[in-house]
Amino acid sequence: MASFDVLGDGTITSVPGIWAAGVHCGIKQSDALDLALIYSEVDAAAAATFTRNKVFSPTITVNRENLKSPTHRVIVDNSGNANTCTGERGLQDARRMAAWAAEAMGVKAEQVFVCSTGVIGRFLPMDCVARGIRQAAEMILRNPQSTIHNPIEGGHLAARAIMTTDTFPKEVAVQTEVGGKTVTVGGIAKGAGMIAPNMGTMHAFVATDCAIAKPVLKSMLRDSVQRSFNSITVDGDTSTSDTVIVLANGLAGNRPIENDGRSYNQFKVALDYVTQELAKMIARDGEGASHFITVVVKGAMTEEEAHRCGLTIANSPLVKTAVFGRDPNWGRIAAAAGRAGVRLRAEKMNVWLGEVQVMKNGGAAEFDFQRAQAVFDQKDITLTVDLGIGKARWTVWTCDFTYDYVKINAEYTT
Amino acid sequence: MASFDVLGDGTITSVPGIWAAGVHCGIKQSDALDLALIYSEVDAAAAATFTRNKVFSPTITVNRENLKSPTHRVIVDNSGNANTCTGERGLQDARRMAAWAAEAMGVKAEQVFVCSTGVIGRFLPMDCVARGIRQAAEMILRNPQSTIHNPIEGGHLAARAIMTTDTFPKEVAVQTEVGGKTVTVGGIAKGAGMIAPNMGTMHAFVATDCAIAKPVLKSMLRDSVQRSFNSITVDGDTSTSDTVIVLANGLAGNRPIENDGRSYNQFKVALDYVTQELAKMIARDGEGASHFITVVVKGAMTEEEAHRCGLTIANSPLVKTAVFGRDPNWGRIAAAAGRAGVRLRAEKMNVWLGEVQVMKNGGAAEFDFQRAQAVFDQKDITLTVDLGIGKARWTVWTCDFTYDYVKINAEYTT
């Protein structure tokens, strides 16, 4: 059985050879951090997944091009402005941002990934971006007195610098053994609104010192994203800039993972933990949420159907408001499953709120209303749905729908 | 050009030979009306569309069977209880409800449609249902002193008796000429929550005295529902009991419509107006809504893509909260279009709030913020999106997302 240790205070810079910084350069009106730089001391293999939204940021265009480079060194990410719907000038800005980060860190431009998150339809303030890159690079490279010289602290700053409506930074790191060597996997993420099933739906950056061949990393990341970032939803909206990037710099010195097998599985379990924890933090931080909801769908014909059914339930405003209202209204869960477009047998369906069975063989189960309502006393609740037809299962994470979701999104100003 | 007159105070009983009643029989805790009966004096052709939700009410099973009957006479509908997830007993209850209505009105059981709306997972109180059917039948048949003897009043009562969280009854009637004869089309509907694109997503009953062959009525209704009830959305949730039924009793004496042609088109325009008006009333009555939103998608490759794109925009919580917040945040509209899975050219996209163009050729248009925000001073607003790729268009109706939507659905008790 593959296993790993979760590192206390872990972040992306828990990974050997990974440095980071976060600065305020003026993109945001407030004095919050708004630009992050992540740097690998040595060449790293990279894999990435991007938004499937057809209206996408030019940063996605640049990153798709740069992903062809055999090695990578830098990720630069600003918050406060999504550089989206900005046309040719936006594309030039994204290229300049990558070029400046490359120059500041002494790497090639194609070794840089560039990301932007925030308001759509405004041009990046490039003077701020230039200043921010310069400051962040100095923190990493030239100032041994800086707090950044504690690598952990740099990861924390970067995690804060990529936040928009997030209420807390999202960071995690684990250690495991691969081929007799200690391997670390750490990551940071941002996202609280515009979270939906199509692709990562936010920014997440993961680093590891594991040695792994680029094609293997690519297919592994795709599956890992499916089970993590593509299994969370806050509001069904897919962002235009969603990006997941993993950098693997090989400093652990393990024999490079080049195909399936024991090392592959060992590393995959650690990677899945990191991506799922980051994904769950995003769902937990869902705008205005009062409950974190785990939706388990079992008894499905295929994993794909269980996944789709779980997302349909997790996206249902009626289910989400029922949880907020502490209402064990299981009919809304059954109705959402019924419209998910998956195979099921209504007369074999069972639903549980926490441990309390509320729907049994297609009808109302006999249950104690007080006990069912008490499930909502916990901030973390699990809804389990058995479709009664097959053996496949999937888990999806979301949050409830509250007055504050409406407030946050009605008052967010263009 | 096909034309028609809208009748003042019009309802389903504006149609010659159509009678209705609405009574309180105790299904609802309150003293609100909760059972409606609609009756055609003579045999009528019928067409119907039902929910595609796989968890559906046994009333749907009964109606699918009865739809095979060549003629129909009665619709019986209760509010306050959906008779869904009620298993074999629920199916028996639905059959009994139809049989009782048939007996009370002196028609065959297979000439009856039976509908239920309200809470899921509870058995119908059949003693109440029996009493309600008896009372409603008496009002229609045996009591010339009753207000119901004014046919219009009976339609109004029926429209109120099918309401659940609706804040106003939904009724409309029009008159047109078909083959030299005056033809009336009238309808009533209910629905405010659980409104979504898959099928009718509520109950709507339409009657006409037009003579029309059953297969022609069937295909005409399918297209009409696509352009009306399948083009509204409140929250993306599809109910388990959604039903649209049209009864055509032929009393207008026109030569029966048996295929495409002038009479077909004349009648179709009137039918479309009735179904669209009822559909728009449902969207307007969306739970907690403060704005009624018309989404026009043009420049699409196909009508199907324009339709899908419109629904994706109309279902986006970010778009709906932006309208509530009076925020001309067009990026959310563009992002929703981008994830709709339809062909578009981002660099050719244009978006208007009312008359104010806010996105031009894929980027921000120069517009006056005050003027854009003033669009939200109207309760009725139109969002127009040009996908810049083809010539197809579609119109979708929805409402905004407010604190009150959350309140209504969090506090609705099982």
E-assigned strand segments in A179-222: 181-190, 203-208
Q: How many residues does chain A have?
A: 414
CB contact under 8 A, B55 and A332: no
Query: What does residue B145 show for φ and ψ, rounded to 5 degrees?
Result: -85, -15
Which run of H or E residues covers position A140?
helix A126-141
The whole-angstrom separation of Cα A226 and Cα A239 is: 16
The catalytic position among B49, B59, B201, B243 is B201
Least confident span in A119-133, B107-121, B192-206, B357-371: B192-206
Q: Which of A322, A332, A409 sits opposite B318 (nearest CB)?
A: A409
Instruction: Tell me the mean pLDDT in the region A157-182.
Output: 93
Position B147 scores a pLDDT of 59
Residue A237 has pLDDT above 80, yes or no: no
B165 noted as active-site residue: no
Average pLDDT over residues A206-228: 94
| C-alpha closest to that of B333 among B318, B344, B321 | B318
Closest CA in chain B for residue A82: B331
- Predicted confidence at residue A198, as pLDDT, reads 33
Nearest to A53 among B82, B339, B410 (CB): B339
Whether residue B207 has pLDDT greater than 80: yes
Report pLDDT for A197.
34
- What pLDDT does A409 receive? 64
pLDDT at B202: 79
**Residue A138 CB contacts under 8 Å (≥ 6 apart), including other chains:** A146
Range with the poorest average pLDDT among A287-291, B108-112, B311-315, B387-391: A287-291
Residue with the two structure tokens 């109950």: B203
* Mean pLDDT, rounded, of chain B: 89
pLDDT tens readout for residues B31-87: 999 999 999 999 999 999 987 777 788 999 999 999 999 999 999 999 999 898 888
Q: Select the residue of B56, B239, B406 nearest A324 (Cβ to Cβ).
A: B406
Q: Which of B231, B221, B308, B309 is nearest to B264 (CA)?
A: B221
- In this structure, which amino acid lies at residue A139? M
- Given CA atoms B395, B401, B404, B406 in this order, what sign does their dihedral have? positive
Residues in CB range of B372: below 8 A, 6 or more apart:
B328, B353, B356, B358
Decide if A100 contacts A71 (C-beta within 8 A).
no
Q: With 50 as the cut, is the pLDDT of residue B195 above it?
A: no
Q: For the stretch A90-116, what's the b/e string if a residue is b when 16 or more beta carbons lie within 10 angstroms of its beta carbon?
A: bbebbbbbbbbbbebbebbbbbbbbbb
* pLDDT tens profile A371-392: 999 999 999 999 999 999 999 9
Note whether B402 contacts A407, CB cutoff 8 Å.
Answer: no
CA dist., res. A405 & res. B333, Å (int): 18
**Global ipTM:** 0.70
User: Is residue A85 within 8 Å of A123, Cβ to Cβ?
Assistant: no
Q: CB within 8 A of A122, min separation 6: which ones?
A: A81, A86, B364
Cβ distance A52 to B316 less than 8 Å, yes or no, reads no
CA angle A111, A113, A115 (to 5 degrees): 165
**Residue A257 phi, psi (nearest 5):** -75, 120
Check B85 against A339: CB less than 8 A apart: no
Cα separations (Å) of B236 from A191, B190, B199, B201, B239? Answer: 23, 17, 12, 10, 10
Supply the pLDDT for residue B200. 32
Give the mean model confidence (pLDDT) for residues A250-266: 94
Q: A238 contacts in B (CB within 8 Å)?
A: 335, 338-339
Which residue on chain B is closest to A410 by alpha carbon?
B325
Using only C-alpha atoms, chain B has a radius of gyration, in whole angstroms, of: 22
And the tokens for A285? 């931080």
Å from B98 to nearest chain A CA?
22
Distance of alpha carbon B19 from alpha carbon B40, whole angstroms: 6
* Phi, psi angle pair for A382, to nearest 5°: -120, 130
Max avg pLDDT among A47-61, A190-204, A278-292, B248-262:
B248-262
B206: nearest Cα among B227, B189, B223, B193: B189
Decide if B238 and A413 are in contact by the 8 Å CB cutoff. no
Q: Are strands B380-386 and B392-399 parallel, antiparallel or unpaired?
A: unpaired
Residue B273 has pLDDT above 80, yes or no: yes
Residue B217: CA atoms inside 13 Å, Cβ hemisphere, count?
27
Asked whether the beta carbons of residue B196 and residue A339 sit closer than 8 angstroms, the reply is yes
A321/B406 touch (CB, cutoff 8 Å), yes or no? yes
pLDDT for residue B235: 60
* Distance to chain A for B280, nearest Cα, Å: 21
Indicate if the pLDDT at residue B180 is higher than 80: yes
| pTM of the entire predicted model | 0.80
Q: How confident is the model at residue B302 (pLDDT cuts 50, 70, 90)?
A: very high
Provide the CB-side half-sphere exposure for A142 (13 A, CA).
Answer: 8
pLDDT at residue number B339: 85
* Tens-place pLDDT, residues A326-367: 888 888 899 899 989 899 998 999 999 999 999 999 998 999
Q: How close B86 comes to chain A (CA, Å)?
A: 5
Local confidence band at B287 (pLDDT 50, 70, 90 cut-offs): low
CA distance A271 to chain B (A): 28
* Predicted pLDDT at B411: 63
Phi, psi for B171 (deg, rounded to 5): -145, 150
Nearest to B151 by CA among B10, B19, B9, B8: B19
Helix (H, G, I), strand (E, B) or coil at B75: strand
pLDDT in the model for residue B191? 82
**Residue A45, token pair as written in the block:** 């293999």
Q: Inspect the interface and report whether the beta carbons of B359 and A86 lie closer than 8 Å.
A: no
The amino acid that residue A11 corresponds to is: T
Q: Is the pLDDT of residue A236 over 80?
A: no
Q: How many CB atoms lie within 10 A of CB A245?
A: 25
Per 3-state DSSP, chain B is made up of helix, strand and coil in percentages (nearest 5) of 35, 25, 35
Catalytic residue among A201, A240, A395, A402: A201
Distance CA B82, CA B266 (A): 36
* Amino acid (one-letter) located at A234: V
Name, in order, each residue with C-beta under 8 angstroms of B170's C-beta and a sequence gap of 6 or more.
B159, B188, B189, B190, B191, B278, B281, B282, B285
β-partners of residue A329 are none
Per-position b or e across B206-215, b if 16+ CB within 10 A of its CB? bbbbbbbebe
Rg (C-alpha) for chain A, rounded Å, is: 22
Q: Do A325 and B411 touch (CB under 8 A)?
A: yes
pLDDT over threshold 80, residue A234: no
Which of B180, B187, B185, B186 lies closest to B253, judged by CA? B180
Indicate if the pLDDT at residue B389 is higher than 50: yes
Task: Please report where in the chains the tokens 């499905």 appear, as a residue.
Answer: A300
- Residue A199, pLDDT above cutoff 50: no
Interface test with A, best of B50, B52, B54, B345 (most A CBs within 10 A): B54
User: Which among B53, B364, B401 is the nearest to A335, CB-wise?
Assistant: B53
CA atoms within 13 A on the CB side of A368: 5
C-alpha B396/C-alpha B337 separation (Å) is 13
The larger pLDDT score, comparing residue B235 to residue A87, is at: A87
Which of B287, B318, B339, B348 would best serve as a mutation to test chain A binding (most A beta carbons within 10 A)? B339
